[in-house]
Amino acid sequence: MHRWNDLSQIPADLGPTVVTLGNFDGVHRGHKAVLQAVLQLASERGAQTVAVTFDPHPVAVLHPERAPAPVTSLEHRLDLIEHVGLDAVLVEEFTHELALMSPEDYVRTVFVDALHACAVVVGEDTRFGHKNSGDAATLRELGARHGFEVMTVADLGEGQRWSSSLVRQRLGDGDVAGAAAVLGRPHRVMGTVVHGDHRGRELGYPTANLSQDAQGMIPADGVYAGWLTRVALDDDDQERVLPAAISVGTNPTFEGTQRRVEAYVLDRTDLDLYGDQVAVEFVERLRPTLKFDSVEELLAVMSDDVARCREVLSSIVPA
């Protein structure tokens, strides 16, 4: 998949395209329905497929105090879009200048002049242009004027509309299974394994501690069953995806203050992961974070946590 970061990088001889526009944070099942519609329409038109997205999130620029936590990193977002099968993605830097463009100026500059769109596919709730004044109806008017078709994809969901906001809500509640139902896959946090207090190794449960700059929204504090993926290893390497008990929190039993994500790979004390890039995927929340009166009490509960993790993961094929 071609990845363009500026309009100047788009080939001048680019043929007709079917384009979609959105933040695509999380690339959840609703987003995928839009992307699949792009692929279908492009196949019928003999056109290439392009997603246009933004970085940073527009709210982070216009109202930073209200900026939502990113569900995924930009790199993971692009990987997920590529996995759907699109030909190209344009990542536009969202600036105050871009926010001032009228819907017509934006469509003419990006969709018509740069991308040669023969069709545009969007969700019903799409907004764009200065003060979000453009919507699907605006797009249809501009399409008639500039020679491209507009297709809208209806909202989808199971009881609630699938959205990035719903994913954030469920992760904030620790409902990682509910978030996965919207995403269509387990939620992932990625980071570098760094040294911690080495307390887990002393207790017989060595953990991989993710760096503080880990990417992806961190769920509510608690203990989770999930997977640790060593991203540098080949997909068919049996050591790539490993079952793990994952802890999110401050280690209150030991008076910790720094919030951490750490993962114990079940039944493994031989791994040296320091400096490795890993992905931690959350399958099910087992319990909230608790403060214990003694190390012995903590160890007894950790033993139960590991047993429950093994039970939860035993019948699941990792994503």
State the pLDDT confidence band at 257, using cuts at 50, 70 and 90: low
Peptide bond into 252 cis (omega under 30): no
Q: Which residues pair with 184 in a beta bridge?
A: none
Q: What is the pLDDT of residue 294?
A: 82
| Token pair recorded at residue 43 | 């196949």
Residue 201 has pLDDT above 70, yes or no: no
Residue 319 has pLDDT above 70, yes or no: no
Residue 126 has pLDDT above 90, yes or no: yes
More confident residue, 84 or 256: 84
Q: What is the pLDDT of residue 253?
A: 67
Q: What is the pLDDT of residue 5?
A: 97
More confident residue, 205 or 35: 35
More confident residue, 318 or 300: 300
Q: What is the pLDDT of residue 293?
A: 78
Measured distance CA(264)–CA(270) in Å, rounded: 11
Measured distance CA(146)–CA(170) in Å, rounded: 41
Q: What is the pLDDT of residue 199?
A: 65
Residue 264 has pLDDT above 90, yes or no: yes
Name residues whose C-beta falls within 8 Å of residue 141's C-beta, 6 or more positions apart in sequence: none
What is the pLDDT of the chain when averaged over all its residues? Answer: 94
Q: What is the pLDDT of residue 200?
A: 63
Q: Which residues pair with 93 in a beta bridge?
A: 55
74-84 and 29-45 helices, crossing angle to 10°: 50
Q: What are the start-end ranges of the H helices in the chain?
A: 29-45, 58-62, 74-84, 96-99, 103-106, 136-146, 164-172, 176-183, 199-203, 295-313
Q: What is the pLDDT of residue 254?
A: 65
pLDDT tens for 61-95 read 999 999 999 999 999 999 999 999 999 999 999 99
What is the DSSP-derived secondary structure letter of residue 143? H
State the pLDDT confidence band at 315, using cuts at 50, 70 and 90: confident
Q: Which amino acid is at 236?
A: D
| Token pair recorded at residue 99 | 């926010």
Q: What are the start-end ranges of the H helices in 184-265?
A: 199-203
User: 25 and 164 in contact (C-beta within 8 Å)?
Assistant: yes
Catalytic residue among 239, 262, 284, 311: 262
Q: How many CB atoms lie within 10 A of CB 84?
A: 17
Residue 255 has pLDDT above 80, yes or no: no
Q: How distant is the alpha carbon of residue 173 from its chain centre? A: 17
Residue 261 phi, psi (nearest 5) = -115, 120
Known catalytic residue: 297? no
Residue 107 has pLDDT above 80, yes or no: yes
State the pLDDT confidence band at 291, using cuts at 50, 70 and 90: confident
pLDDT tens for 30-73 read 999 999 999 999 999 999 999 999 999 999 999 999 999 999 99
Residue 316 has pLDDT above 90, yes or no: no
Average pLDDT over residues 126-132: 94
Lowest mean pLDDT among 47-61, 94-108, 162-176, 191-205: 191-205
What percentage of the chain carries pLDDT values higher than 90? 85
Q: How many CB atoms lie within 10 A of CB 101?
A: 17
